[in-house]
Amino acid sequence: MLIDSHCHLNYEDYFDIEAVKTKALEHGVDTFIAIGASEGLKSCIDTIKIAQNNDNIFATVGIHPHDAILYNDIIEKELYKFSDNKKVIAIGEIGLDYYYDHSPRELQILVFKKQLEMASKLNLPIIIHTRDAEKDTIDILSEFKKNNKNAKILFHCFSGSQDLANFALSIGAYISFSGIITFKKADDIRDIVKKTPIEYILVETDSPYLTPTPFRGKKNHPAFVSLVAKKVAEIKDIDENDVISFTRENTISFFDLEIK
């Protein structure tokens, strides 16, 4: 069975979680990593509630770089408290986004570093969002890894360069691929999939965003992670069942999941 390693289940479109799970199961998906990282603490709170009420849905917490401007001492204290919940399994998604620049870059960097420190203190895996910010991302994570050699790092929804992928692998990070790899103009990302060892690959939807072909233009759904896995198998010319098996074990290992 597949795991959707990154989806946003707290949006209104997903309030019928039973329907989400049923549709996903029909496509061979039984486990979900639900991301809480936007709207200040609201998405974290909503995501934790969803995880608490559902087996095999796990939660992450953090402040997305878009919302770095909202970060303060109160939010930081709450994020630390959230980690006491057994269903909270990672800090993220956190990082840098210079494409939209919804928050000042200097503030994004400060908040990124604070949350990396938080993950280190809590001994939790880290989910990275980076867009048009490769140099600063590499510099910050290089410094972080010097003092946190055992830190687990995942680059989610990878859309960067081969250099960034090489850096990720050099520090032992995992790389998660989304529906982007099915897009017509994503040959460069498909090349990166081909060159990335299957032992370091996860698959995700980033629902409700980035719906894979042939459903582009429609709402994305965790069930569609099956299309991402199928495309990985095609690109790497390996059996789809091997992709399912490897990505499942990679996800379980990275997040230290206890699946029922």
243 part of a folded domain: yes
Residue 32 is predicted with a pLDDT of 98
Q: N- to C-terminal Cα distance for the chain?
A: 13
In a domain, 223, yes or no: no
Domain annotation covers residue 260: no
- Only one residue has tokens 């039973």, namely 18
Give tens-digit pLDDT for 64-116: 999 999 999 999 999 999 999 999 999 999 999 999 999 999 999 999 999 99
Angstrom CA distances, 98 to 77, 165, 181, 189, stand at 27, 18, 22, 19
- For residue 39, what pLDDT is reported? 77
Residues 123-155 pLDDT 10s = 999 999 999 999 999 999 999 999 999 999 999
The pLDDT tens digits for 1-52 are 999 999 999 998 888 999 999 999 999 999 999 999 877 799 999 999 999 9
- Which CATH number does the domain housing residue 156 bear? 3.20.20.140
Identify the pLDDT of residue 13.
85
What does each C-alpha distance from 257 to 51, 55, 252 come to in angstroms? 13, 12, 5
Question: Among 11, 56, 16, which residue's Cα sits nearest to residue 36?
Answer: 11
Nearest-CA neighbor of 159 among 192, 126, 197, 202?
Answer: 192
Query: What whole-number distance in Å separates Cα of residue 101 and Cα of residue 232?
Result: 31
177-224 pLDDT, tens digit per residue, is: 999 999 999 999 999 999 999 999 999 999 999 999 999 999 999 999
Q: At what angle do helices 134-147 and 105-122 cross, to 10 degrees?
A: 30
Is 101 in a helix, a strand, or coil?
A: coil
| Cα 138 to Cα 160: distance, rounded to the nearest angstrom | 12
Distance CA 124, CA 120 (A): 7
Residue 222 lies in a domain: no
Amino acid found at 227: L
**pLDDT score, position 9:** 96
177 assigned to some structural domain: yes
- The total of structural domains in the chain comes to 1
Residue 64 lies inside a defined structural domain of this protein: yes
What residue numbers bound the domain in which 141 lies? Answer: 2-217+230-255
Residue 225 lies in a domain: no
Position 189 scores a pLDDT of: 98
Tokens encoding 248? 């499942």
Q: Where are the beta strands (DSSP E) in the chain?
A: 2-7, 29-36, 57-61, 88-97, 126-131, 153-155, 174-177, 201-203
Q: Reading across the β-sheet that carries 88-97, which strands appear in turn? A: 2-7, 29-36, 57-61, 88-97, 126-131, 153-155, 174-177, 201-203
Q: What is the pLDDT of residue 12?
A: 84
In whole angstroms, what is the distance from residue 107 CA to residue 109 CA? Answer: 5
255 in Cβ contact with 249 (< 8 Å): no
Q: Does residue 126 lie within any of the structural domains?
A: yes
